[in-house]
Amino acid sequence: MNNRPKALVLLAPAFPANESETNWVPSQQVFVAAMKDRYPDIRLFILTFYYPDRKAPYRWNGVEVIPFNGEGYRKARRPLFWNRIWKELNRIRREYELMGLFSFWCAECAAVGHYFGLRYGIGHYCWICGQDARATNKWVRWIRPGEDELIGMSDFLVEEFARNHGIRPSRMIPNAIDPSLFPAVLPKEKDIHLLGAGSLSRLKRYPLFVEAVDRLRRSVPDIKAVLCGDGEERQLLMELAEKYDLDKQLVFTGELQHVEVLRLMQRAKVFLHTSEYEGYASACLEALYAGAHVISFCKPLNENIPHWHVVGSTEEMIATALCLLQETDLNGEPVLRHTMKESAEAVMALFYTGRM
């Protein structure tokens, strides 16, 4: 009789170094917290390949995290890096009843999970989260995953992956939020017209956000806009705002704790998501539950989502934002589309039923 405790291994490129890094991959943090809360009898291990840049295991809210600091293993040393992870997986397999492996993104983590699962007959699933559905993802050809192994985070990603790689993920389990993380005390009024939040990277296309503020102030003179986050393009964006003379209209907050971003969302009327390509952004789901209207270029689900406006161009985005801001009684009721508890249960059900 097998008396070993059950365990589940989560494979991720990066994970927060401590509990205070709430802005690091918040969707993964919420997912892990939901799994721990919902299944306290199952031992969770997080194997993080690159971040944090340390090698000693540590605890994150009671969950054991094992980092591998992969930045030091480039090119010829890559097999040594994978071998270290393989040995750790074998240790866990020997000491626990390993229920399965779950990877974030169909890339290097999924490659290790896929082949380790094949070698030892252990179920592996991969959550396709965004950029990994693109045709430029070369890992897919090397992994050769089966349809039953793949989970799309949205209908959009299921279709994208099938179109680009000729493999249709058999399941869709959506990204989600934890409503309990939101501040209970609501602001007296929604005094932020336009809000943006996220990593200030080139992929997010935040120059469009600055341009939108400049153009909207012509019709909304008292417009107040806030852009949360930090990243490679922060200086460029601040210079662009200075060029447009937006010092009274646009505030750059820098990097904030997750709860502070949620507070700002509760004050916002419109959340502008300028990324050209997005799987199912946590920030959009959070903004909806905070009572803001969301405008984005990507439609995550085949069905329409209340207060989520999908547009096809920058002109349409700005026009839609203007229509919303000019409404005298804009509906600011929270919209809860998915909870992470439900998504965690859907993932765990795969390992309990053994459907591979």
Q: What is the pLDDT of residues 211-256, one digit of tens each?
A: 999 999 999 999 999 999 999 999 999 999 999 999 999 999 999 9
Q: What is the pLDDT of residue 341?
A: 97
Q: What is the pLDDT of residue 354?
A: 53
Lookup: tokens for 246: 């937006």
Position 78 scores a pLDDT of 86
Residue 35: CB atoms within 10 Å: 23
As a whole number, the mean pLDDT across the chain is: 95
Using one digit for the tens of pLDDT, what is the confidence trace for 143-156? 999 999 999 999 99
Residue 1 has pLDDT above 70, yes or no: no
pTM: 0.94
Could you tell me the pLDDT band of residue 61, with boundaries at 50, 70 and 90? very high
Residue 304 has pLDDT above 90, yes or no: yes
Cβ partners under 8 Å of residue 248, min gap 6:
none
Domains and CATH numbers, the chain: 6-176+339-353 (3.40.50.2000), 179-325 (3.40.50.2000)
